């Protein structure tokens, strides 16, 4: 089986325990399947990139014993490619310019899964007096279904639950949903393993892949690591930053979080952790992510 997995951190800060869990799951799954594992920096919104974050993430991954199969990619190098895909979607009338502000949509949009539903104001052309701000994908009324490797069957009617969604933002940057679909396609990613906060985005990505005629990767979403208040860990949660000089306890904690069998107690080095983890990784043991869709 061909297997190409990836880890796609946003360089907006340092990796924390939650990012480590996602990295361990995608890396071990790739190694277990004799696959490749690629790194990509999700820096499509260049204004959010923190100076030094890319180097910091590479140093951290290296200290934890991760090995990536090719030079890391960066979304900021792909601006022209995203624009070419946006132009194609516009030419084929699969997308349209929208002149609505967030406030206007909030005022009239019915509540949806990820904010108010777009009311369709600019779907058939910009109303007089509006100037183009963002670009939205035209979403038809059909249900997207897929079976997540860890979360099980998922279905979403993107039109009814999300609406025509933004693929180029008002500030000119490609939206994450577009960038990730283009990235996964040109990198020939076959397996996506990532945090369950992106479970509700996956039907949008499948929808876009279908419109663009791209092949679909297999998806697996792992449960999120939450803080004591139940919130997803964030990059500025300094308390959960990873310590580089003693990676093994964090790796073992990530392994345990992923529901895996206990490893031999005499592991003293990161390389031993990875060879045992690769051998013993069991996708069936990954806990089911609940409450995200
Ligand atoms: N950049 C996203 C994050 O840091 C991950 C995106 C993805 O895996 O598709 O959470």
Report pLDDT digits (tens) over 262-288: 998 889 999 999 999 999 999 999 999
Closest C-alpha among 123, 104, 105 to residue 114: 105
Per-residue pLDDT, averaged over 29-40, amounts to: 98
User: Ligand 1 centroid to 176 CA: how many Å?
Assistant: 9
Examine the domain organization and report whether 54 and 199 are in the same domain.
yes
Determine, yes or no, domain membership for 84.
no
Q: Which of 27, 50, 194 has most ligand 1 atoms within 8 Å of its beta carbon, as the pocket-test mutant?
A: 194
Q: Name the closest-CA residue to atom 5, ligand 1.
A: 8
Determine, yes or no, domain membership for 116.
yes
Read off the tokens for 49. 């990139």
Q: Name the closest-CA residue to atom 7, ligand 1.
A: 8
Residues whose CB is less than 8 angstroms from the CB of residue 139 and which lie 6 or more positions away in sequence, other chains included = 158, 159, 162, 163, 164, 165, 207
- For residues 236 and 224, the model is more confident at 224
User: Ligand 1 centroid to 180 CA: how many Å?
Assistant: 8
| Beta carbon of 53 within 6 Å of any ligand 1 atom | no
Closest C-alpha among 61, 47, 51 to residue 9: 61
pLDDT band at 109 (very low <50, low <70, confident <90, very high): confident
Q: Which of 42, 60, 196, 216 has most ligand 1 atoms within 8 Å of its beta carbon, as the pocket-test mutant?
A: 42
User: Ligand 1 centroid to 42 CA: how many Å?
Assistant: 7
Determine, yes or no, domain membership for 292.
no
Examine the domain organization and report whether 68 and 146 are in the same domain.
no
Nearest atom, ligand 1, residue 184 CA = 9
Range of the domain at 24: 4-79+187-285
The chain-wide mean pLDDT, for the chain, equals: 94
Task: Please say whether the beta carbons of 233 and 223 come within 8 A.
Answer: no
Q: Which residue has the tokens 């199969």?
A: 69
CA dihedral defined by 149, 73, 188, 7, rounded to 10 degrees? -10
Examine the domain organization and report whether 205 and 259 are in the same domain.
yes
Q: Could you tell me the pTM of the whole model?
A: 0.95
**Residue 59 pLDDT > 80:** yes
CA dihedral defined by 190, 195, 196, 202, rounded to 10 degrees? -40
What's 124's domain CATH number? 3.90.800.10
Number of domains in the chain: 2
Examine the domain organization and report whether 97 and 147 are in the same domain.
yes
For residues 46 and 44, give the distance between their C-alpha atoms in angstroms, rounded to a whole number. Answer: 6
């Amino acid at each position: 089986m061909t297997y190409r997995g990836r880890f796609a951190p946003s360089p907006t800060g340092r990796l924390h325990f939650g990012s480590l869990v996602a990295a361990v799951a995608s890396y071990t799954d790739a190694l277990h399947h004799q696959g490749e594992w690629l790194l990509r920096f999700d820096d499509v919104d260049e204004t959010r990139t923190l100076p030094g974050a890319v180097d910091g993430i590479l140093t951290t991954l290296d200290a934890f014993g991760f090995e990536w199969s090719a030079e890391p990619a960066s979304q900021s190098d792909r601006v022209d490619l995203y624009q070419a895909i946006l132009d194609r979607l516009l030419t084929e009338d699969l997308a349209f310019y929208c002149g609505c502000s967030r406030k206007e949509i909030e005022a009239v949009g019915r509540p949806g899964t990820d904010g108010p539903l777009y009311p369709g104001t600019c779907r058939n052309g910009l109303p007089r007096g509006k100037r183009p701000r963002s670009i939205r994908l035209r979403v038809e009324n059909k249900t997207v279904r897929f079976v997540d490797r860890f979360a099980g069957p998922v279905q979403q009617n993107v039109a009814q639950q999300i609406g025509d969604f933004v693929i180029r933002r008002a500030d000119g940057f490609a939206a994450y949903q577009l960038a990730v679909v283009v990235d996964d396609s040109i990198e020939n990613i076959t397996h996506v393993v990532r945090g369950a906060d992106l479970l509700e985005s996956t039907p949008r990505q499948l929808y876009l892949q279908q419109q663009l005629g791209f092949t679909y990767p297999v998806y697996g979403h792992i449960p999120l690591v939450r803080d004591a208040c139940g919130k997803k860990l964030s990059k500025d949660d300094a308390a959960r930053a990873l310590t580089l000089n003693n990676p093994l306890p964090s790796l073992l904690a990530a392994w345990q979080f992923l529901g895996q069998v206990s490893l031999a107690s005499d592991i003293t080095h990161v390389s031993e952790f990875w060879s045992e983890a690769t051998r013993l990784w069991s996708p069936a043991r990954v806990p089911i992510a609940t409450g995200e869709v």
